[in-house]
Structure 1
Amino acid sequence: MIKQKCKIFRILAFEFEMKSLDDLKYFLGIEVARPKHGIFLFQRKYILDLLAKTGMLDCKPIDTPSEQNHKLGLYPDQVPKNKERYQRRMGKLIYLSHTRSDIANAVSVVSQFMHSPSEDHMGAMMRILRYLKVTPKNRLMFCKYGHSDVEGYMDADWVGSVTNRRSTSRYFTFVGGNLVTWWSKKQKVVSRSSA
Structure 2
Amino acid sequence: MNEEMEALNRNCTWELTELPSGRKPIGCKWVYRIKYKSTGDIDRYKDRLVAKGYNQREEIDFDETFSPVVKMVTARMIISIAYQKNWSLCQIDINNAFLYGDLTKDVYMSLPEVILIKLIQDINDYSLFVKVSEIDCLYLLVYVNDIILTGSNTKIIDECKLFLKIKCRIKDLGYLKYFLGIELLDNNDCLVLSQRTYCLEVISEFGLLGCKPAITPLENGVIFSNLDDHDSSDQPLENISEYQKLIGKLIYITLTRPDIAYAMHCLSQFMHAPLKSHLKATFRVLRYLKGCPGKGITVRRNNNFVVTAFVDSDFAKGSMLRKSVTGFCVFMGNNLISWKSKKQSTVSRSSAEAE
TM-score (norm 2): 0.53
TM-superposition CA deviations, 1:136-173 (whole Å, max 9, x none): 01011122212112111111110112122111110000
User: Identity percentage over the alignment?
Assistant: 38
User: What is the alpha-carbon distance in structure 2 between the residues aligned to residue 18 and residue 117 of structure 1?
Assistant: 44
Q: CA deviation at 1:13?
A: 2.5
Equivalence for 1:95: 252
User: What is the alpha-carbon distance in structure 1 between the residues aligned to residue 304 and residue 296 of structure 2?
Assistant: 22
Preserved CA contact (<8 Å) 1:40 1:141: yes
Q: Which structure would you say has the larger Rg?
A: 2
Structure 1: segments with no counterpart, 5+ residues: none
1 or 2, which has the higher helix percentage? 1
Preserved CA contact (<8 Å) 1:94 1:107: yes
Between 1 and 2, higher relative CO (CA 8 Å, sep ≥ 6) is seen in 1
Q: Which amino acid aligns with 1:24?
A: L
**RMSD, aligned α-carbons:** 1.5
Of the three residues 315, 320, 334, the one matched with 1:163 is 320
Q: CA deviation at 1:93?
A: 0.5
Q: CA deviation at 1:39?
A: 2.5
User: What is the alpha-carbon distance in structure 2 between the residues aligned to residue 120 and residue 59 of structure 1?
Assistant: 18
User: What is the alpha-carbon distance in structure 2 between the residues aligned to residue 59 and residue 15 of structure 1?
Assistant: 51
Matched, 1:39 2:39: no
User: What is the alpha-carbon distance in structure 1 between the residues aligned to residue 244 and residue 164 of structure 2?
Assistant: 42
Q: Which amino acid aligns with 2:199?
A: I
Q: CA deviation at 1:4?
A: 4.2
TM-score (norm 1): 0.93
Q: Which amino acid aligns with 2:347?
A: V
Match of 1:174, SS state, is: strand
Q: How many pairs does the alignment contain?
A: 195
Q: Which amino acid aligns with 2:207?
A: G
Structure 2: segments with no counterpart, 5+ residues: 1-152
Change (3 A) 1:141 1:46: same
Match of 2:174, SS state, is: coil
Does 18-27 or 109-118 show the bigger shift?
18-27
Q: Which amino acid aligns with 2:252?
A: Y
Matched, 1:194 2:346: no
